[in-house]
């Protein structure tokens, strides 16, 4: 019996985070493409730095700030989110420092990020929507929406694009 996941009804207040998650999943897809295409590891490392500095670092900080307001300190959802952010940061630090820079490390990074995003979208955000004070959630949503800007992909080279050979 095949099960399909129903699309999540996202409170509009959390949509800016979900938009960032879209770009996070695109980042992981690009890493997978680069690994499959044999892109030099140094190029992939530079791309990790680029994505971390332009999107992911601020996204994680904002999520943690918001969650401190909406979820109790000792709640397992908050603890898991903070631990996973810490783990992702530690892996990225290793990539950026060139420590054990291998395709396997980049694969772990992309898979951990996919798993984390899926968990937030499927479990954490629905939980927040159930327990958060609606007025506070709405206020946070307005602040996030004002601040959110569509990221501009300016990384070169576009290693994720498969070059077609001309005959």
| Higher per-residue confidence, 1 vs 137 | 137
CA–CA separation, 63 vs 88, rounded Å? 14
| Higher per-residue confidence, 5 vs 35 | 35
Average pLDDT of span 155-161? 92
In this structure, the number of other CB atoms found within 10 A of the CB of residue 8 comes to: 14
Q: Using CB atoms within 10 Å of the CB of residue 99, give its burial: 0 to 12 exposed, 13 to 18 middle, 19+ buried.
A: exposed
pTM: 0.88
What counts of helices (H) and strands (E) characterise the chain? Answer: 7, 0
For CA atoms 130, 60, 27, 151, the dihedral sign is positive
Confidence check: pLDDT of 20 > 80: yes
Kindly state the percentage of the chain with pLDDT values over 70.
Answer: 92
Confidence check: pLDDT of 7 > 60: no
Average pLDDT of span 99-127? 95
Where does the pLDDT of residue 3 fall: very low under 50, low under 70, confident under 90, or very high at 90 and above? low
Kindly state the percentage of the chain with pLDDT values over 90.
Answer: 71
Where does the pLDDT of residue 10 fall: very low under 50, low under 70, confident under 90, or very high at 90 and above? confident
Copy the structure tokens of residue 49.
Answer: 């730095």
Give the model confidence (pLDDT) of 29-46 as tens digits.
Answer: 999 999 999 999 999 999
């Amino acid at each position: 019996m095949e099960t399909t996941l129903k699309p999540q009804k996202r409170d509009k207040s959390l949509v800016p985070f979900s938009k960032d998650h879209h770009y996070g999943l695109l980042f992981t897809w690009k890493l997978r493409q680069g690994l499959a295409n044999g892109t030099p590891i140094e190029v992939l490392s530079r791309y990790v730095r680029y994505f971390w500095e332009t999107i992911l670092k601020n996204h994680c900080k904002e999520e943690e700030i918001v969650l401190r307001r909406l979820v109790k300190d000792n709640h397992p959802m908050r603890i898991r989110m903070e631990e996973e952010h810490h783990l992702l940061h530690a892996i990225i630090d290793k990539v950026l420092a060139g420590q054990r820079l291998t395709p396997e490390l980049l694969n772990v990074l992309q898979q951990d990020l996919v798993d984390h995003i899926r968990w937030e979208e499927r479990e954490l955000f629905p939980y927040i929507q159930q327990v958060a004070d609606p007025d506070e959630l709405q206020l946070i949503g307005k602040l996030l929406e004002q601040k959110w800007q569509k990221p501009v992909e300016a990384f070169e080279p576009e290693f994720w694009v498969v070059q077609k050979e001309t005959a």
